């Protein structure tokens, strides 16, 4: 018998919140400190085990849900477990990029074999799925990119956790709209756990989610976008719109660094959200601005489902223009900050 979803989601958020308090405690034996480096926006060591609280909260929120044991579910859970374990080891001991990427690639490939033939709605009016080996390769790369993209963007208090609350919450809304309760409850469970964590991660953060939280959330983003499109809840491109604040920032930054011939594995502070802080915006003001952008993208995604093809293309064009304007504003504020010598706004 399924338990009331609202009760379990509330319990998941509470477990995540309590978990963050325990994991941030100085006497916690699993406490791992994130030491500031050239990429960091924080100046003091902060615990980075909050991902465990998110995982615990999400598991509690899923108790009694509409789960049906299946080989596909076993593969997905095994892949998530492998990514969580290698990320936990990386948080504790440190790993070079190669072994991490190997685990990410194997986990993504296992899931891609299940999901590649099913994704739909790559663009408005393009409903046919990509088939064959190319589809498997594309989906595997898609999942690996989301794992690492989310980790790249986990660099500011309240940012990655807030993105999870807005993003998975929007996916849940899209699932409910499509009367897909099973999908909606999974997405809402993750959003609830992320909310419990974000309460303690909001600037100034008590702890960070670490690689465990960021890589698992990124993997879940990719999986749920693929699953939601395969189940007909929304087109694939709509799922990308939901998380586009992360997708656009990370992808554009990577392409710009590659074009300049920079070593992509080297730590840096060139993401747009980092540039805003360097331009003089406080962490809190920056993350609130990002929350507003996330809310706009969520509303656009929700409105796109059921809109005409012309309306869907208009939403894509409007978002592209919005991101172009925002990029220009960041460059302008950087110039103003350098000219005035300001350190915070």
The tens digit of pLDDT for each residue in 51-108 reads: 888 988 988 887 756 555 577 888 988 999 999 999 988 888 878 888 999 999 999 9
The tokens for 159 are 């940012």
Global pTM exceeds 0.85:
yes
Q: 196 with 53: CB under 8 angstroms?
A: yes
The tokens for 344 are 């915070």
Residue in the structure block whose two tokens are 């809109």: 307
Burial of 282 (0-12, 13-18, 19+ CB in 10 A): middle
Asked if omega into 204 is within 30° of 0 (cis), the reply is: yes
Rounded CA separation 248/258 (Å)? 15
pLDDT at 79: 93
Rounded CA separation 207/33 (Å)? 9
Rounded CA separation 106/104 (Å)? 6
Q: b/e map of 29-58 (b: 16 or more CB within 10 Å)? A: eeebebeeeeebbbeeebbbbbbbbbbbbb
User: Cα Rg for the chain, rounded, in angstroms?
Assistant: 19
41 or 122, greater pLDDT: 122
Rounded CA separation 262/166 (Å)? 32
User: Above 90 in pLDDT, residue 171?
Assistant: yes
Q: Please say whether the dihedral angle defined by the alpha carbons of residues 201, 204, 207 and 210, taken in this order, is positive or negative.
A: positive
The tokens for 119 are 């994704």
């Amino acid at each position: 018998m399924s338990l009331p979803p609202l009760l379990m989601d509330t319990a998941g958020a509470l477990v995540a919140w309590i978990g963050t308090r325990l994991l941030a405690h100085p006497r916690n034996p699993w406490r791992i400190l994130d030491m500031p480096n050239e990429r960091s926006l924080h100046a003091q060591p902060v615990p980075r085990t909050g991902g465990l609280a998110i995982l615990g909260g999400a598991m509690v929120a899923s108790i009694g849900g509409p789960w049906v044991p299946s080989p596909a579910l076993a593969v997905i859970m095994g892949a998530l477990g492998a990514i969580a374990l290698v990320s936990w080891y990386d948080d504790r001991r440190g790993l070079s990029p190669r072994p991490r990427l190997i685990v990410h690639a194997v986990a993504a490939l296992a899931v891609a074999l299940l999901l590649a033939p099913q994704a739909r709605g790559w663009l408005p009016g393009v409903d046919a799925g990509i088939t064959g080996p190319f589809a498997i390769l594309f989906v595997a790369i898609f999942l690996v990119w989301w794992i690492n993209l989310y980790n790249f963007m986990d660099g500011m208090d309240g940012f990655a956790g807030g993105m999870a609350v807005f993003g998975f919450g929007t996916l849940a809304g899209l699932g409910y709209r499509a009367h897909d309760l099973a999908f909606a409850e999974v997405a809402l469970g993750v959003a609830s756990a992320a909310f419990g964590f974000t309460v303690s991660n909001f600037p100034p953060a008590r702890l960070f989610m670490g690689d465990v939280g960021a890589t698992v959330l990124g993997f879940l983003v990719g999986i749920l976008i693929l699953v939601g499109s395969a189940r007909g809840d929304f087109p694939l491109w709509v799922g990308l719109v939901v998380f586009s604040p992360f997708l656009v920032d990370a992808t554009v930054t990577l392409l710009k660094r590659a074009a300049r011939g920079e070593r992509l594995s080297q730590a840096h502070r060139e993401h747009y959200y980092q540039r805003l802080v360097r331009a003089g915006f406080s962490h809190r003001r920056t993350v609130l601005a990002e929350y507003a952008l996330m809310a706009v993208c969520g509303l656009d995604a929700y409105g796109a489902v059921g809109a005409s093809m012309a309306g869907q293309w208009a939403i894509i064009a409007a978002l592209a223009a919005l991101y172009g304007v925002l990029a220009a504003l960041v460059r302008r504020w950087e110039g103003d900050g350098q000219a005035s010598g300001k350190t915070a706004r």
